[in-house]
Amino acid sequence: MEDENIASEQSERREANGNADSLLAASINEKLSSLTSLPSQCCIYRVPDTLRRVNEEAFVPRILSIGPVHHGKKRLRDMEGHKWQYLKALLQRKPGTMVERYVKAMRELEARTRGCYAEIIKFDSDEFVTMMLLDGCFIIELFLKNKNKQLRDEDDPIFNRTMVLTDLHRDLILLENQLPFFVLETLFNLIENTDQEGPSTSVLELTYVFFKFLGLQEVLIRDSQPDVKHLLDLLRLWFVPPSSTKSTSKSKFELIRSVTELHEAGVKFRMGTVSCLMEIKFINGVLEIPPLTIEDTTDSLLGNLIAFEQCCNRFTPHYITDYVILMEYLINSPKDVALLSRYGIINNLLGDNEGVSHLFKKLGKEVVFNSDKFQFSNLCRDVNKYHKTRWHIWRATLRRDYFNNPWAIISFIGAVLLLFFTLIQTVCSLLSLKKGNNK
């Protein structure tokens, strides 16, 4: 009887465990079925925590939210009123324009737009469509007013305040502050179809004019129609080289010496004549680097470009990341910054060489780059080969150990003169002795 009770208890226990396992399995299956894969068109991401911890301020908007990530934050609400004013001005300038037409166009793009964000957007449909319309029209109206001063009101709260416009330039290039480019193009095309004033333009051209101060390549506007994901992506495309000059290097990655060390070894530096940051060349001992202006928002611009590349799939070339890594190696101290400034390669608006040196160290921190696909491998190899030749090593040693300050140079010249006069005296003594013997 006792054995039967034990068997019964074991059977009940197995049945209970079986039910528990079934319930757990059902729960796991429900969780798995609710998961959605990352959309293939995903292009707007949260900045990785590793980069954010290095310099969080570079990735956070100061006055403007665009898109859903920072939407509704209290400190950004002041600009919401200006968005509505700009939308009103845009519609009033287009007689007969129906708001419903814009709403319908945005509603048709809603699902596609949501798919561009790496995280699930919790706004309901009306809230999301309103945000698309308001933010998109604000950007277009801002760009139009920037290009055409006649469209601005006398008391315009943005263009009459330099600081506000500067902050807008910065906030519009943040990775987390983006709208898909097709939203801007759709809205702009609707606006253009009702516009009978002036020559036609494009969102590409308006964007170029707004960010022209960055030194962008205008050639992309006329000669090609790149597949643009958003404003930050467009800036990246303008900074990278054209397809014909992109690196196909398979050289092994090599570290490169600092500017000061290369200069001591006889490497000459020259300011490049093109605006593309990637067009760095080394020919016949001359390292040619395009000019770069360093100002208060440079860390934010380069930092967000790097963050975007770090989030993209592995097939996306890391042009900006590789550029920053190269500059981090070249600029190892304030002395390196001073040398590059002397040759016009760096325009330092920070006024502090130490700050520029620290900026590149900070930008390169926690960044992952592929040494097998490093865009400047050939350049580093050629520079190192030049630096390692015996004569250049001797020259660098001589400059570092004997010509590193004015007193050392004076001492060296004095020693050479002393040796020269000693040699002359010796020759004269020998000639005098020989003349005496002949007598």
Query: What secondary structure does DSSP assign to 149-193, as a single string?
Result: GGGS-TT-TTTT-HHHHHHHHHHTT-TTS---HHHHHHHHHHHHH
Residue 281 bridge partners (DSSP): 288
With 0.85 as the threshold, say if the pTM is over it: no
| Amino acid (1-letter code) at residue 147 | K
The 8-class DSSP code of residue 251 comes to P
pLDDT at 260: 94
Beta carbons of 332 and 260 less than 8 angstroms apart: yes
In a structure prediction context, what are the per-residue pLDDT tens digits for the chain, which is 439 residues long? 555 555 555 555 656 566 776 777 777 877 776 665 556 689 999 999 999 999 999 999 999 999 999 999 999 999 999 999 999 999 988 777 789 999 999 999 999 999 999 999 999 999 999 999 999 999 999 999 999 999 999 899 999 998 999 999 999 999 999 999 999 999 999 987 655 455 568 999 999 999 988 876 655 555 455 689 999 999 998 888 765 455 556 678 888 999 999 998 889 999 998 768 889 999 999 999 999 999 989 999 999 999 999 999 877 889 999 999 999 999 999 999 999 999 999 999 988 999 999 999 999 999 998 888 899 999 999 999 888 875 555 555 555 555 555 655 566 566 666 676 677 777 666 666 655 555 5
How many angstroms separate the CA atoms of 270 and 260, rounded? 14
Tokens of 289: 């680097």
How many angstroms separate the CA atoms of 351 and 344, rounded? 14
Long-range contacts of the stretch 234-239 (C-beta < 8 A, 24+) = 234/181, 234/204, 234/207, 235/173, 235/211, 235/301, 235/305, 236/305, 236/308, 236/309, 236/319, 236/320, 238/208, 239/276, 239/277, 239/278, 239/305, 239/319, 239/320
**Residue 297 half-sphere exposure toward CB, CA atoms < 13 A:** 19
How many angstroms separate the CA atoms of 241 and 281, rounded? 12
Each domain of the chain, given as residue ranges in start order, spans: 49-203, 244-399, 405-439
pLDDT at 244: 43
The CA radius of gyration of the chain, in Å to the nearest whole number, is 32
Name, in order, each residue with C-beta under 8 angstroms of 25's C-beta and a sequence gap of 6 or more.
none
| Amino acid (1-letter code) at residue 264 | E
Query: Dihedrals φ, ψ of 348, to 5°?
Result: -90, 95
Tokens of 48: 């990785």
How many angstroms separate the CA atoms of 187 and 179, rounded? 12
